[in-house]
Amino acid sequence: MSSTVNPLLQRWMALTEYLSTDLLGGPKWIKLSWVINLQKGGTLPFVLALMFWYQNWTYAAWTYAALHGSYGLAWLLKDAVFPDPGWQRRVTIPAALSSFLLVLGPYWLAPWLLISGNAGPSERPAWLLGAAGFIYAVGVCIMLAADAQKFYTLKFQRGLITDGMFRYVRHPNYLGEMMLYGAFALVTQHWIPWVVLLWVWCGLFAPNMIRKEASMSRYPEWAAYRARTGWLIPGL
């Protein structure tokens, strides 16, 4: 890892790497992508099961099922067509459980809060559902387009990607993820999903972006590229 990364941040990233890859040691039989795909693909059945259990068939419940459920299916399609190499590594069984319990599983708190009624009455204003759908659609488009561009560009030519989805921001895939998960929290209308997102965005996304930039800084054109682009938002 580059020496430009803060030592404290390096220790934090080493800890998260240990928890998600090598926890307690032992054989590594499970691909991390299998764990992720289980949660992503299981979201739609999980949400529909909640709707049946709580007999909640409101517009808000169906909207949430459509948004988060379709995202899970889109993720499975993405993994089948242009998989992220970082998710293909094998991990220990305790590490797989750790990834699910600490990161992936808490995403399911949002639909439970909404559909169970713990986030208040399940009805939501039409404008809010429309806004969530708009934010989600743009976010999932940005995420998929950025990941596809990165996969196919690096497949044939290694180096710094500075055009397409990466022309104005350096981490469009993370931006898309944040937008679509923000849409889920918007529908839920409860503070807990935002706390989960804050943990993921600050504890995992931000360190990963910092580590990525430390790695990209080895390219001669990095300084000029960084000066004209934003971290997540153009100009910022």
pLDDT (0 to 100) of residue 212? 93
Residue 217 near residue 2, CB atoms below 8 Å: yes
pLDDT tens for 136-179 read 999 999 999 999 999 999 999 989 999 999 999 999 999 999 99
- Residue 161: partners with Cβ closer than 8 Å, 6 or more residues away: 149, 150, 153, 154
Residue (of 229, 78, 207, 193) closest to 144 by Cα position: 78
pLDDT tens for 12-52 read 999 999 999 999 999 999 999 999 999 999 999 999 999 99
pLDDT (0 to 100) of residue 4? 67
**β 30-31/90-91 pair status:** antiparallel
Coil/strand/helix, residue 205: helix
Residue ranges covered by each domain of the chain: 7-228
pLDDT confidence of 3, banded at 50, 70, 90?
very low
Residue 189 near residue 122, CB atoms below 8 Å: no
Q: Does the structure show a pLDDT above 50 at 1?
A: no
Kindly report the pTM of this predicted structure. 0.94
pLDDT tens for 197-222 read 999 999 999 999 999 999 999 999 99
Write the CA distances from 140 to 72, 133, 172, 216, integer angstroms.
11, 11, 11, 25
pLDDT tens for 76-134 read 999 999 999 999 999 999 999 999 999 999 999 999 999 999 999 989 999 999 999 99
The alpha helices in the chain, defined as continuous H runs, are 7-17, 32-53, 59-81, 93-99, 109-116, 126-156, 172-188, 191-200, 206-216, 222-228
Residue 16 near residue 204, CB atoms below 8 Å: yes
